[in-house]
Amino acid sequence: MAPPLPKVNLSEPGWTVRQGQAVWHPGRGAQEIAGELLVAARRDGPAFVQFTKTPFPLVEAQTTVNRWTVEFPPQDKRYSGRGAPPARLLWFELARVLAGLPLPKNWVWKNSETGWRLENSSTGEFLQGYFTQ
């Protein structure tokens, strides 16, 4: 496992931040969780995604140009690595699709005037929500 990435400072110049509400369905047979979503990205590659059930963060995912990390604080779990993040983790795919990048096989993105949905068709995991203006 790679060492932790430094904490993101979203007040630094260059970050584009989106905030909203979302429902996460971790997979078939799992309970849905509603919460607040924050997605931040920079043009030069770094991204940060946080899903929170106030006041607790449930998921924090971060990428740099050549490293990634994802944390699940309620379970006290952290995974990290070098290179591109694993395509099976929804949080990284959300950042990719919002940056206009193509999704890997099995991922489906739907966007409408009322909201969006990102789904892994093979696992049943999805995240759907909307961003506030």
Asked if residue 7 is part of any domain, the answer here is no
Full residue range of the structural domain in which residue 101 is found:
15-131
What confidence tier does 1 reach under pLDDT thresholds 50, 70, 90?
low
Asked if residue 46 is part of any domain, the answer here is yes
Asked if residue 37 is part of any domain, the answer here is yes
* Sign, CA torsion 77/84/103/86: negative
Average pLDDT, the chain: 93
pLDDT value at 124 more than 90: yes
Asked if residue 65 is part of any domain, the answer here is yes
pTM for the predicted model, two decimal places = 0.92
What confidence tier does 63 reach under pLDDT thresholds 50, 70, 90?
very high
Asked if residue 9 is part of any domain, the answer here is no
Q: What is the number of structural domains in the chain?
A: 1
CA distance 103 to 97: 6
